[in-house]
Chains A and B, each alone.
Chain A
Amino acid sequence: MSDTVIEAPEFAEGTASYLTDGTTLRSWLLTTDHKRIAILYFGTITIFFFGGGAAAALVRYNLIVPQGMIASAETYNRLFTLHGVVMVWFFLIPAVPATLGNFLVPLMLGARDLAFPKLNLLSWYLFVAAGLVVLYALLAGGVDTGWTFYTPLSSAYSKSHVVAAVTGVFIAGFSSIATGLNFIVTIHRLRAPGMTWYRMPVFLWSLYATSVLLVLATPVLAMTLLLLSFERIFHIGVFDPALGGDPLLFQHLFWFYSHPAVYIMILPGLGVISEIVPAFSSKRLFGYKFVVWCSIAIAVISFLVWGHHMFVAGTSLYSALVFSILSYVVAVPSAIKVFNWIGTMHKGFVRFDAPMLYAIGFIGLFTMGGLTGLFVAALAADVHLSQTYFVVAHFHYVMVGGMVSAYFAGLHFWWPKITGRMYPEMWGRAGAVIIFIGFNLTFFPQFFLGYLGMPRRYHAYPPEFQVLNVLSSAGATILAVGYLLPLAYLTWSLFYGERARANPWGATGLEWQTASPPLTENFVSTPTVTEPPYNYPPPEVVQRHV
């Protein structure tokens, strides 16, 4: 397959694909095809993304003036809670695994479908059910505890719809577990002949690590939310000291899930970038095995750092010391990945199509998110910076600057494969640049706000913080344009985009060896793998092509 890696077989236009195999609503809603389920997920999370984004826009709008543009603190608290709950559980966690992962895992493995197609469909229905419950909580009046649901505020004092919201999150958790389980079994059992573990693309390794986290961590969240609901409904004392409980127990349990969840959100993004950088550098991924084992290391260590959310919460001195050093340790594999991506560009043939621009934006923003994480891992600095806008900026750099950029990078990269259409390239590049600029304008000023002491979750603030807040809100308008652009041009491309070839990027990987869009059966015959991943040809061959 030496040169054919790049020149994949062409398929006659208009052949049947998974998109044309049944056009009724029923054929979509009862499908067990992983590709169609990916599309269902894609539509659902897009709605959540723009819903959560609208809440964020209102939050930034409110903060333009010190006394707050929105009159009531009740409304403001509900807005940022909605933003957090929706973005964390209904966008970031499912974003890459449930859409790109669902679509690509069997294709990349050379398999016909996931191991449990019906479970896959069930996970989407659970996800929709969870979304409807959260929608109910919202329409009934909302929740005001923040997405972290800290007790005893959530269990005893909040007068909002806490139980409905945590029920939604609880159900969404089962959808996550189903997806995770499906991926683990599929990767173990359904690899094509010759697809050894070390021939798997890093994207699959990342999803494997993510799946392990989903299966192991999510049940802890389920238990915690169940206990919280019991305390709120039946007044069973678990977390509320007035009932003999311990409020820090809630924080320990919550972060025991929610810190690994941070990696559930970012690991798939790291996988996406590990596919795109080699493809657009026409070069093997630098240090493949290191990158692979970094994913696994991140997954393991991420279970041991939850206490860094509690440095000022009243835990012991020794626990703070241990969690601080472990937090530095977990940052090492992420740093190694960044160096490996740069190493991949070294001596490559770098092209700047939209996926690569999003990926480069990702590397920059993720690095900044990671470096500012070092500030809050340093104990004495964390005392000053935690619970301020510094932390808000830090995790948005990782989650939005990093993860959402990676999601868009992957979306553009595999868009031709998923839809059979090319997106308009110039618009794609413009979108990547506008998002990068808008993102930095929105969140960079928040580092200064945090250092100066502006607390999170304030609907009004002292006037000296206004200038930086106005800058941040102004940046948010550019960011909003940046996010609406892909919505517009990607939708446009579904109808008017140029037809995509099987392998428009000249990329390696089995998914590029089948038609765009793929057949329902994925491959005409089961492929056999004979080479290592990212087997981009040596420089001379590339030079001839260029």
Chain B
Amino acid sequence: MNLWLPQATTSAAEVDYLILALLLTSCAILALVFGLILLYMIKYRAGSDFDRGAPDERTWRLEAAWTVATLLIFFGLFVWGADLYVRLFQPPSDALKIYVIGKQWMWKIEHQGGQREINALHLPVGRAIQLVMTSEDVIHDFSVPAFRIKHDVLPGRYETLWFEVNEPGTYHLFCTQLCGTGHAEMFGEIVAMPAPEYQNWLEQNGAAETLASAGETLFMRYGCSGCHGGNGAGGRQSGSTVRAPALAGLYGSPVPLTDGSIVTADDLYIRDCILSPERRRVASYPPLMPSFAGQISEEDLLKITAYIKSLTPEKLP
């Protein structure tokens, strides 16, 4: 029986220290509770003639003491757990993005270079990785115990999760949110390798085109370019009769909406605009764009988004 779980990420040891602290606190409290119960069971058993003296009448000091002590200990544990969580919540800006799609009952992985995997994820050690995850159907959960990470994968949303692996190896990937009959089969492996090997792997499994270039093909095929123009130059500039906003340089920039609010164009915003353009329409543009809901798969959405992200005003002719 092996009770050791590999600490494969930079934060795994920190999580283990927190769990150890919780364990030690618990053991101390348990020892106190069990110790006192056992002691009183023996010392104050009905048959013992140990002198009890007068009963304690004033209890509030004791009550206040153990209330405050418990609160302080709990507050310390809260701060420890929260501090680590906050740090784990925020990815570094240079993280390598890998896309994850959950569906009943498999994990589909899309790399930036267009490499695709099912129920396996190859990644480099020593580099921050950010997973951008969505689901085609029900809620799944991407969990890697050796990394001490876990996050639900929801339909209709992009959830992210980041980590940096520092031990090469092969690790279990579990789905930990009940997702139907095949829940336990939604099982995969994470292969972490040194950067040069990872480069080799990418090249050997190289796809004909990157995510973004595959997205460009789709951008044409779904007719996006008809209104938004080639290279996302925008409707008017490209001579189209339809007025549609320019997409070059859109990603990460603020967008004024018809209701007066301003949103930052992130993955989810772009996805929403494709699937339900009415919901958050750009100010001063007419409601002409049709909804593509139910017509574009999650993979194609990722590719089109990758293409839109790759567009910059400088690339325009």
Contact = CB atoms under 8 A, between A and B. Distances in A.
Given A331-B74, A374-B26, A451-B19, A324 B180 contact: no
A102 to B, nearest CB: 31
A363 B178 contact: no
B78 A363 contact: no
B70 A457 contact: no
Contacts of A371: 25-26, 29-30
Interface residues of A, number: 93
Interface in A372-388: 372, 374-375, 377-388
Nearest to B38: A360
A138 interface: no
A479 to B, nearest CB: 20
Interface in B160-200: 172, 174-185, 187
Contacts of A336: 63, 66-67, 70
Contacts of A347: 44, 52-53, 55-56
A290 B63 contact: yes
B75 A352 contact: no
Contacts of B154: 241, 247-248, 313-314
Contacts of B179: 153
Interface in B45-98: 45-47, 49, 52-53, 55-56, 59-60, 62-63, 66-67, 70-71, 74-75, 77-78, 80-82, 84-86, 88-89
Interface in A57-98: 73-74, 77
A388 B177 contact: no
Contact of A364 (B33, B45, B47, B149): B33
Contact of A378 (B29, B63, B77): B77
Interface stretch (A1-9, A107-115, A461-469, A514-522): A461-469
B18 A381 contact: yes
B145 to A, nearest CB: 3
A161 to B, nearest CB: 15
A241 B85 CA distance: 28
The residue among B15, B45, B60, B181 with the most chain A CB atoms within 10 A of its own CB is B181
Nearest to A331: B74
Contacts of B33: 338, 342, 363-364, 367
Contact of B40 (A328, A345, A382, A464): A345
A460 interface: yes
Nearest to A244: B276
B1 interface: yes
Nearest to A464: B2
Interface string B127-169: 0000000000111010101101111101111010000000000
B122 to A, nearest CB: 20
A18 B252 CA distance: 75
B137 A152 contact: yes
Interface in A521-546: 538-539, 543, 546
A421 interface: no
A282 interface: yes
Interface stretch (A143-151, A481-489, A492-500): A143-151
B312 to A, nearest CB: 31
Interface string A266-292: 000000000000000111101100100
A517 B145 CA distance: 56
A375 B46 contact: no
Contacts of A118: none
Interface in A293-344: 311-314, 317, 320-321, 324-325, 328-329, 331-332, 335-336, 338-340, 342-343
Contacts of A453: 5, 143, 145-146, 172, 174
10 contacts: A145-B178, A153-B180, A241-B156, A242-B156, A286-B59, A317-B89, A349-B45, A375-B19, A379-B84, A460-B185
Given A150-B177, A364-B37, A375-B22, 15 more contacts: A77-B180, A150-B178, A287-B63, A325-B82, A340-B63, A343-B59, A347-B55, A360-B41, A363-B33, A378-B78, A379-B85, A382-B81, A448-B3, A461-B184, A462-B172
Interface of A: 73-74, 77, 144-146, 148, 150, 152-153, 156-158, 241-242, 244, 247-248, 281-284, 286-287, 290, 311-314, 317, 320-321, 324-325, 328-329, 331-332, 335-336, 338-340, 342-343, 345-352, 360, 363-364, 367-368, 371-372, 374-375, 377-388, 448, 451-453, 455-462, 464, 467-468, 538-539, 543, 546
